[in-house]
Chains A and B, each alone.
Chain A
C-alpha cells in the first residue's frame, strides 16, 4: 500500500519536472537572437568594405549598401527590443506559475483519485492467475509415477483419489474431474468422492453449479443428509437459479445444524448476510444459532448459569446504516417491517406447525426482540414438531434455565435437559442439572454417576472442577 503511494508521488514528480524546468529556465533566447543579428550585419559591412577594396563595388554602391545594412540593423534592434519587452512580460509570472503548478497538480490528482480510485481493490484474480501454477519438480515426479502406477493398476481407488486431489491443487481442474470420476466409479458411490467430484466440476464451470454437479450433490445429501459441503453448494445452486429465498432456507438450515466452531461457518454467515440484504431480509432474524462447538476449547461450565451452547456465532447484526440502506426506510419503519415479518412467520407456523426450522427461527427472532415468553413458546412448538432436534431442546433449556446454578429448576427445564442428554450423552449442562436433581431427590448413586461423567469430560484445569469435586464428595460414599 505504502509502496503504491511512493510510486504515485515519484511519477507525479517526474511529470512535473519538465514543466517546472521549462518555466524556470532563464530566457536568453531573445538577447541571443539580437546579438546574432548584429554579428551578421557587422560581417556584411566588413564584406562591403572588402568588395570596395577589391574594386567590385564603386564607392557610391558601397555607400548605398552600408546605408541598407544600417537600416536593417536598426529595424532588427527595434524588433529585438520589442521582443524583449514581450518576453520579460511573459516570463515574469513563470516562477509563481511553477510554484502553483507544483502544488496544484498533486492536489488535483489526489482530488480526482481519492473519490474514484480503489487502492485496496484486490487484483483481478482470474487475469492474474497463471494457467498452470508453478509446481515443484518433486511433485511433478510424484504425479508422473502415480500416473504410471495407475496405468498398470487402474483399479486403485485410493490412487485415483490422490491423483484427483493433486491435480486439483495444481489447478488442472479438468484432469482432476477425470481422476475423481475414475475413483468414484471404483468406489460405487462414496459420498465424499461424489462431493469432491461435484465441487471440481463446479470450479471447472467457473463456480456455476451445473447439471451434473447438482445431481451429484443431491445424491450426496440423500446418502449423508448432514454433508455440509453438498448442502452449501445446493444453496449456491438455488442462488444461481435466482431463487434467493430458497438459497437462504438451505444455508440457514445448515447453520442450525453446524457446530459453532465449524470452519465453514464464517463464509456461510457472510453469504447469508449478503443474500439476505439483497432481498431485504434481516440476517439476524432468519439465521438460527449454530450447535454448541464440537471441540470446545473451554466448555462453558454449569456453574456460570446454564448457557447451553450460547456461544454466539450468529450472523453479525446489521449496522443502523446498512439497515437503512437496505430498504431506504427509517429506523422505525425497519423495526416495524421486521416485527411484521416475525408476526407473519408466527401466523404461518400456526397453519404449518410441523416446520421445526420455522419455529427455531421464530424463537430466535423473539429472543432478539426481548420477548422471552414468546421465544419459549416458539421453542415448545419446535420440540413438538421434531422431538429429535437437539438444537430445539438446547435452546429451550437455555431459556428455561434457573438464573443461578443453585436456583430452583422447573420440571419443564429438567425434562428438556433429560431430552438433551438422551440426544447428546456428554452434554455438560444436562449432566450437571440432572445430577443436581438426583441429589435433591436423595438418589446419590445416580447423582454421582452424572457428575462423575461431567468431571471426566472437563479439562484438568477447569475452574469449576474443585467445586464439582466438593459436591461429589458431599454425596458421601
Chain B
C-alpha cells in the first residue's frame, strides 16, 4: 500500500465514525422509552417511611398492602404532571380509586400549592425530597404511575403522563382484575 492510498483511507475515518454513530442512534430511536422493562415488576415495593407535605398524612411502604392502589410519582415542577392531574382527580373522586402520591424531589410548599390549585387526589403523600425512594422504585422521570396489588407488590408501571386511553384500556381493567 503506497503512502498516498493510506493517507486517503485515513480521510474516510471521520465519515466512518459518523456512519457508525448514525446507525447507533437510529436503532436507539426505535426504542420506546415508556416500555423500558422494570426490574421491580412483581417485586414487593421497597421499604420506606416518608413524612407528608405540609403536615398532611405521610406515606410508608406498610400503607401499600391490603388494598389494590396506585402510586403516582409527581412534582410541582413537572409540566406533564399537570396534564394528567385532572385525570387522577377523577379516578380518586368518581372511580373511588386509592392513589398515593410520591412527591419527587420537590419543595413541600410548592407541592402543597400545586395540590391546592389543581385538587388533591391522593389519600396520602410522601415527600421524597432527595429522590431516594424514587430511585428504589426505579423511577426514570416524573410522572410515573405504579399499580400495587393487595400483597404490596408492584404489578405495572406507567411512564409519562396517564392518558384517557391508558386508563380505560390498561389501568382500570387491571385494577378490577387485581381487586377480585
Please report A residues at the B interface, Cβ cutoff 8 Å.
83, 86, 201, 204-206, 208-212, 214, 237, 240-244
Contact = CB atoms under 8 A, between A and B. Distances in A.
Given A206-B79, A208-B85, A237-B86, A244 B164 contact: yes
17 contacts: A86-B4, A208-B82, A209-B86, A210-B117, A211-B89, A211-B118, A211-B120, A212-B116, A240-B83, A241-B86, A241-B87, A241-B89, A242-B86, A242-B90, A242-B163, A243-B90, A243-B164
Interface string B70-103: 0000000001001101110110000000000000
Given A211-B89, A242-B168, 5 more contacts: A206-B79, A211-B116, A211-B119, A241-B86, A244-B164
A205 B118 contact: yes
A208 B90 contact: no
Contacts of A211: 89, 116-120
B54 to A, nearest CB: 16
B4 A208 contact: no
B170 interface: no
Contacts of B85: 208
A75 to B, nearest CB: 15
B22 interface: no
Sorted from nearest, which 6 A-B pairs have the closest CB atoms?
A: A242-B164, A211-B119, A241-B90, A240-B86, A210-B118, A242-B87
B4 A205 contact: no
A213 to B, nearest CB: 8
Interface residues of B, number: 19
Interface of B: 4, 79, 82-83, 85-87, 89-90, 116-120, 162-164, 167-168
Contacts of B163: 242
Given A242-B167, A244-B164, A208 B87 contact: no
B166 to A, nearest CB: 9
Nearest to A237: B86
A211 B117 CA distance: 6
Contacts of B120: 211
A208 B119 CA distance: 11
Contacts of B164: 242-244
A383 B119 CA distance: 40
Task: Output the residue of A83, A241, A244 with the most chain B CB within 10 A.
Answer: A241
A283 to B, nearest CB: 18
Nearest to B82: A208
A210 B86 CA distance: 7
A91 B162 CA distance: 61
B167 to A, nearest CB: 6
